[in-house]
Structure 1
Amino acid sequence: MGRLDRGGFGKVTGLPPAALGPDRRSPLLHELGGPWDASAGPPLSEVLSRARIGILHRDVDLRVLAVNGCFCDLIGRSADALDGVSMEAFTHPDDVARSSALYRAQRERAEPFRIEKRYRRPDGSVVWCAVHVSFLCDADGHVASTITVAQDITAQRIAEQELRESEAHYRHTVELNPQIGWTAGPDGAIQAASPRWCDVTASEPGDALGHGWLDAVHPDDVGRAVAAWHAAIASAQPVDVEYRLRTPAGYRWFRSRAAARLDDLGRVVRWYGTLEDIDDRTLAQEALRASEERFRLAAQAAGLGIWDYDAVRDRREWSPEFKAMLGLSPDAAPEVATALALVVPEDRHLLSALVEAVRAGDSAYRFDVTLRIRRADTGEERWMRTDGWRIQAPSGTLARVLVTVRDVTEERTAEDRIRWTANHDALTGLPNRAHFTMHLDAAIERARASGRRLALALFDVDHLKETNDTIGHDAGDRLLSTFAARLARALGDDAVLGRLGGDEFAAFIPLAPDQDVDTVGDTVRAALRALHEPFAHDNHILDCQATAGASLYPRDGGDTADLLKAADIALYAGKARHRGTLSLFRPEMRAHLQRRASMLGIARAAVRDARILPFYQPKVSLHDGRITGFEALLRWHHGHHGIQAPETIAAAFEDFDLAPALGERMLDGVIADIRQWLAAGLDPGRIAVNLSPAEFRHDNLVQRIMDRLHHAGIPPERLELEVTETVFLGRGAEAVGTMLEAFHAGGIRIALDDFGTGYASLTHLKDFPVDVIKIDRSFVGNLCAGSGDAAIVDAIVGLGRRLGMEVVAEGVETQAQADYLRAQHCPSAQGFLFGMPMTAAAVADRLTPAAPPRE
């Protein structure tokens, strides 16, 4: 294929004669003006190329008869590359079907056609073209060739697409905008409203035009809306008015806002406005106003003063009640300076700090402060409690501060009395244990900082119990109050005294740099001598004799606990050997503490190594000798000495950490044994497990035990929990009662162990869910008729029978004891007479029925 004229057309030889002119050129060349004649100007082909119009002439076999450069540029192919290539090869795939169908239909009729389609170049780029296709026929009327004229319209198509997108964007902006857009003429007549009007009001598009929109306005709001609109029209100023519109769901609040477009002379050309649905916000605001009004009424009823600060408008409001509290007149201005002036100087910084924090915006959402004021009218000092709430705007800035003020003078006075009562002993007026310990902590810190020493002495009134038992508690109280007064006088003003509880008192004395321990000892001994002087009370002579133990900081302890412990050790030693005197702490007195520490260490190791195991002592019916259950007794295994009794680790049962751990091990062992016995078809009755007071300090005690029984599949009725009266004493008794109630409700029986040895046994039987009373072994050891112990046992058995409680006598070791108990109708007993504590395997052997004799 050779190149032709400068117009860029190519020519192919061997065309059918009918397709060529007399000069053997394509007829298209005749149309385009043939080869370029410089004197005649550029040929049409050159003009078309410069005009960016592409020309392609091909025969029915797709051979290129002529093509210009513009067409080659449009499809990204050379003239040589076009020869024999189908139109589908350079048409965009999405346009092939449409283009081919149109081409075939028009070719059958040899009628030209126009189409807009995309050409795809070999490099993947796409160009939109307006394509005109004509057909040249031979003498017989058959299509001999095709002439394609193509013009790049890509920019036009892009512009049209952008226009359509812009129109769609505008249309969706209007249609989807939650606000209703509208326009009005200079006279205020509505000219147009967005389709949203019809959606909201369920009306026809034309209903809003003119003044028809007023038909949708709530009758009560028409006057206000029209007045606002007329005022805006008259002044050409923006309008902003709220009213209700009728909707399918009922009337809703809307906010109408509009502004005018003015011409150069300031005349209104058109009004542009929006309608915004504010129903939810309006109802919320109304609810807020109603809530605030209720709050104010409640505050008035409760005698609260209100300090309301609007941070947005920097405006304060004081309620009449608040002004009355301050002693101000009703017309007094609500100024911060006024309030500050009334606060007593010592508390003024509290209010100043709060005001500054609010101004800075860094106060908490909720705050409170209690301070004193002097009334403006009488000068009387009053306590005021302020409670405030800081409210933020949606932007996060401070919007409002609301403060309630309450006169708490009477409450403060009562609180001071309560606080004094909480920190002092009501009988003697001395600091109680907690308050004294706090003072001692502070004194030790001061001594540590100054490098000085102090002495601590503990005093125990020797005969308080005897006085209470023989003369009465009023005499005991007189003894204690006299003791406290004498001790305070004897020790002097340098000493700080406290009553630690019962018959125990304490005092610490800071030592001067030149003062030695002997001097303090002489002071305490002199106090003991002064205390020992008898005094008369209600025709009785009472003695204030006391025993004292003392320790020295820092020699005997570096903190309050160690110092108290050392003094307590000394007091214990003195009471054992030298009553009525002073014992100074010596290191060898720690021996019993070391024994206790040893017990705790052994217990920890036993728990850690799983060497805790239960032994079982049978409980029998005195009526028929039948085993009704067992009591699980703790034993532990020593690596060299074998099974050990619990006395060797007795201190562990008072330890808040070890006692629950021991209980855990015991419970695990007991549950495993019960499950094994039941699986073997044996009936062990109820198994009693002891709970130490320390175990009740853990809130999950009930859940822990009930869960263990549930997971093991053991009915709760198989378990009995034994407690002593010590669990009911001191703090936490209410929680203990709640736990026992939970156990009882879950089916576990509660036994009160060592009954008769405590202080309030009958009260405990009445107040707590006790199912079983266990008579302490100390009463069973001497059951001969007529003895005091026998009388106590008889009374307990009768008490249990009347209360419907099971009674079990502990420590039965002789047949005579068993016979006596049986005669008194005591239902159950346990002790060495019926069996020693035994292993789980021995229990199984004892419960297994004996095999019948072999014939």
Structure 2
Amino acid sequence: MRAGSAPLTGPGAHPPAETATESARPGSVPGASRAGLEIVLSRARVGILHRDLERRVLLVNDAFCAIVGRSSDELAGLPFEAFTHPDDRERSSRLYLEQLARAEPFEIEKRYIRPDGSATWCAVHVSFVLDAAGRPQSTITVASDIGARYEAQQGLRESEEHYRHTVELAPQIAWSADARGAVVEISPRWSEITGVDPYDATRDSWLDAIHPDDVERTQRAWRRAVDTGEPIDLTYRLLCQGSPRWFRARAAPRTDAAGEVMRWYGTLEDIHEQRITEQALRDSEERFRLAAQAAGLGIWDYDAVNQRREWSAEFKEMLGLSPHTVPSLDTAMSVVVPEDRHLLQALATAAWSGDSSAQFDVTLRIRRPSDLEERWMQTSGWRIRASTGRLERILVTIRDVTEERTAKERIRWTATHDALTGIPNRSHFTGELEAALAGTPPGSQLALVLLDLDHLKEMNDTIGHDAGDMLLRTFARRLQQAFGPRAAIGRLGGDEFAVLLSGVPGERVQAHVSRALLRLRQPFEFDGYTCDTQATAGAALFPAHGTTADELLKAADIALYVGKAQRRGEISLFEPAMRADAQRRTSMLNVARVAVRDALVVPYYQPKICLSTGRIVGLEALLRWRDDLLGVQGPDTIAAAFEDLGLAIAMSDRMLGCIADDMRRWIDRGVPPVPVAVNLSPAEFRHDGLVDRITRPFRQRGVPFERIELEITETVLLGRDTDRLAATLATFHDHGFRIALDDFGTGYASLTHLKTFPVDVIKIDKTFVSNLRAESHDAAIVDAIITLAKRLDMAVVAEGVEQDEQAEYLARRGCNYAQGYLYSGAVPAEAAEALLRAGAPAGDRCAPRA
């Protein structure tokens, strides 16, 4: 027992065991009995606390002190809310007051929290000691530590939920059958796909869902598997709501120690799109074969399934072989010069091995038997695999490139052309530009156009550099076709190309280039991917924008930069004002670097308000930076920095660290917790290790991830590598972060993105809210967004709310939350803390703008 506890006997004392049905009997516990009782209670494995209604400790044992991490003296006068977990206080306090009014005991499971922040789950029983009139005089609390049991229960529930979600949400249909082959269990997705109740499927009605043409074959294969105990793998069509779709069924048996089948386990996988794609691929192959023959290319077709080779007549002619020659690798090897046979052997080995690349190229020399002439041959090949990964076909084309390989032409070509694309390189194009400027008659015009591929880096990062190289080659070839033989073209380096136009009037340059950009934009296929060839162009005119090659290049480069920032996929013609914009961008970048270096970047917080209660339900952290002369500045003054990957990440790291510090401080001070939204720029998603970088500052400071909301714009969803983005957002979601889609409706994200990505919150852009009248188009858009969000079980936040009429309209339409100057601007952390403590009802209008 704790020293300093009040005596258990004597006038006015109440025995701990006294209940609502007993009255006090002073002196009923002798001194010896009291000492024995104290010893018993001190050794009890449950915590016991007896206090009067003034919170004076009458009795407490060591177990209770250990549970709450406080001594008897520390418990004296301390309200129970002080050592109750914040999430349990309201529920516990409400129950206590209700039972106190009735003078009836009660039980509750809650968490006690210790001064060091650790908490433990307890089963708590509270009873009241009554006076003769039945009025409560003191409370007796008995607490049992149930932390281990609670964690075990939580683990069991999580395991059950995990199993249920694994089965219900898996794209495959899981099923099982008994040893005789009768289906005994099938996942609920069976009903979603076929419309047949899973219970009916267990009574052999699953055969009714199979296409009639596939029933007999399926039954026969299943019966053979059951009889032999061998795994089964076959495809058939299911009638999905009346329409047939191809599925792949696989199953394997579970056997006992004697090898007897106990049960079958299988899955059904939807492969309909794959089958359609394979058929389309076969059709494409035939078209390719015809096109190659028309172009005079030789074709070598190898059927790996049936071990059959076919050589086209053009192929045999190029090799100098008789039209009656029987195709074989040995025959092909015999015409290759000995020095290059290892190349063909390596090609053959790779083609028939497990090499994962679908395409291959090799150039080698042959000596034709017909005339003994040595020729250079370039071969390009493609591997075609089945859905199982098995090699089915190898298709090779051959082209005579002898003239291209002559020494004199190769030296000249290498010096003046880009090796990858085959078009003039920078030095050669610059020479052509200077020559054209020098030879242009007075009064004539030239147009210099710089083009920048918009998605080369993303393609290199997501599909691979082979795809990026193919993009560059394809774009260069189309560039020649789009601008014609009169235009000089070149690759200046990386993803930048140039075109010099003559004979096109200045007022028609934009229209001329715009038509060419449309022709260049057609996507192409590479290794199963659809690749985008969109480019942005900047143009400058001679002599209006420069009289030298250097001046024209600088002017066109400035126009290209403006186009990349404002008009991607279009052409921008140079204007003198653009030069000032470029200088302003440079200034922004310099200012941003100083702000990062001197730790001037700080978060300001704008409250989010619940429209139904008027209370603060969240904060959005907005970037601000401190200028020694101008004071706190907004992000628009350094906007260019958000497009720079290095600066964007540096500013984001600074913001995340400050936000984590502020939240940790609020937690320590007992500030009512609300989620804090953090904005992620599109540039940050190009950085590897994004998840670790975002989670690290909050993990280090012990801030729960559940209190963080990540805001992304529609621009992020429009990237090329959607699978990688979806995986990244799913990882954030699994950690407990909420995902909000900012500025919804202003970009080009489709409704498909709302299904593909784990979005929890939709934020209505302020441009729709500012003109919110019942009859306006903006109101119709807002109504549609709110309705959509409700159907998708997403929360809705309206941004830029500045008028009571706007807030009332949004509330009537069922919008959940709002933020804007009607409630508060962005405020520093200290002011935000004050708002959180006050709750800041919507009618207060007490927060300053920032």
Whether the TM-score (by the shorter chain) exceeds 0.5 is: no
Relative to the length of structure 2, the TM-score reads 0.43
Larger radius of gyration: 1
